[in-house]
Amino acid sequence: MPFGRRKRETSARRSSSPLTRRLVRKSCRLCQEKVQEIDYKDLERINRYITERGKIMPSRISGTCARHQRRLAMAIKRARYMALVPYVAI
């Protein structure tokens, strides 16, 4: 095809793509437990929101609300600084 043009995809293929699927919003586990403070020393709770690579899990995957996501990120960063949680997993 001249100039790298591509054929348009059919509408059947486009409708089944993951971008058009409606995502179900998860409820915030921390709101359900009525957690006010997230302590950086509470490693059981913090480790639930860290990936196996040591990254902070995004709220769209973990289901946390914006308020708890910010507090959780701050607690994880403090725990990293205090060497309770690794920065990266090897």
Q: How far is CA 16 from CA 24, 35, 40, in A?
A: 16, 38, 42
Largest CA distance in the chain: 61
| pLDDT tens digits for range 47-90 | 999 999 999 999 999 999 999 999 999 999 999 999 999 998 77
Which residue would you say has higher pLDDT here, 56 or 1?
56
Would 9 be classed as within a structural domain? no
- 45, part of any domain: yes
Single-letter amino acid code for the residue at 29: R
Query: Looking at residue 26, what is its pLDDT?
Result: 78
Q: Is residue 16 part of a domain?
A: no
Q: Locate 20 and state its tokens.
A: 């058009």
pLDDT in tens, 11-50: 555 555 566 666 667 789 999 999 999 999 999 999 999 9
Q: Is residue 40 part of a domain?
A: yes
Rounded Cα–Cα distance for residues 54 and 79 (Å): 12
Q: How many domains does the chain have?
A: 1
Would 41 be classed as within a structural domain?
A: yes
Residues shown for the chain: 90
14 located within any domain: no
CATH of the domain at 86: 4.10.640.10
Q: Residue 80 gets which letter from DSSP?
A: H
Provide the domain limits for residue 76.
36-90
